[in-house]
Structure formats: structure tokens, C-alpha cells
Amino acid sequence: MRYFFFQQGKTFYITPNVSPFWKHVKKIIEFSGGEVANVRRKTVEQIRQVNKANNNVASSSSSSSAGMKGGPGKKSKQLLQQHQEPSYIIITCEDDLYLVQDVMRARIPVYSVEFVLQAVLRGAMNFDLAEYIVTI
């Protein structure tokens, strides 16, 4: 029996020096319903486009199900923007930070392997800022 902890539409990119070995992390993600990119990492602009497209779908479905006249108010929209989940997720470690410097400079979050392991153990992804790797 498989449990799908990662929502569909989530793609993970794993840097080469993560521990445990990246192939093991890849299997954990795939067995939990996620997809791992087997190609070169997307550029900052590509990551923004993918995440923006995902967030547009999420916000339109949230606003249509709000049940209020005229959709959600300003506060609701601000909360939606603060809690948007990325659809392209980079998993890295301190040894590989040089590989994702451009992403971190663009203020796109990158995550540690602990993010994946916690998501599997808890049954949900936690995109809290405290889970990010240090930003530049």
C-alpha cells in the first residue's frame, strides 16, 4: 500500500551531495507520490513561472470557493499570497549551496532533506520559513 504525502504537481530537484544519498531521497519522494526532476535544474525565471502558474490555479480555486459576495477581501488575498506553496521544490544541503546561490538571491526558498522526511512522517508538507536553508 502506498501513501501519497506529496500533492500532485510537485516537482523536486535534488542537489548531488545531499545526505542520505540523493538516490535514496529520490526513492522516498517518488514512493510518497512526488516527482523528481532528472534533468538540469530550472533557471530562476522558469522556477518563478512554474510556481506562479501553480499559485494562480490555487488562488482561483480558493477564491471561487470562498462563498462571499465579490470573492475574498484584501486580508484573505494577503493570506493566500503568504501561504502559497511552490510547485518546484529544491532540496539541497550546505555543501551544495553554491549550486543554488542564484535561486536564494532571487528569494526562492530551498529546503533541506529534513523537509522531505518531516513531510513523510507528518503526512503533510510544512512550508514554514523556519524550514528553509539559510538565505544569502
pLDDT at 84: 72
Q: Are 4 and 125 in contact (CB under 8 A)?
A: no
Domain boundaries, the chain: 11-65+73-131
Residue 91 has pLDDT above 60, yes or no: yes
pLDDT of residue 129: 59
CATH architecture for residues 11-65+73-131: 3-Layer(aba) Sandwich (3.40)
Residue 117 pLDDT greater than 50, yes or no? yes
Lowest-confidence region among 82-86, 104-108, 110-114, 131-135: 131-135
CA atoms of 58 and 52, how far apart (whole Å): 10
Query: Cα(27)–Cα(44) distance, rounded to whole angstroms?
Result: 26
Q: How far apart are CA 123 and CA 72, in angstroms?
A: 29
User: pLDDT tens digits, residue range 5-58?
Assistant: 676 778 999 999 999 999 999 999 998 888 999 999 999 999 999 998 876 655
pLDDT at position 80: 40
Q: What is the pLDDT of residues 64-82, one digit of tens each?
A: 444 434 444 444 344 344 4
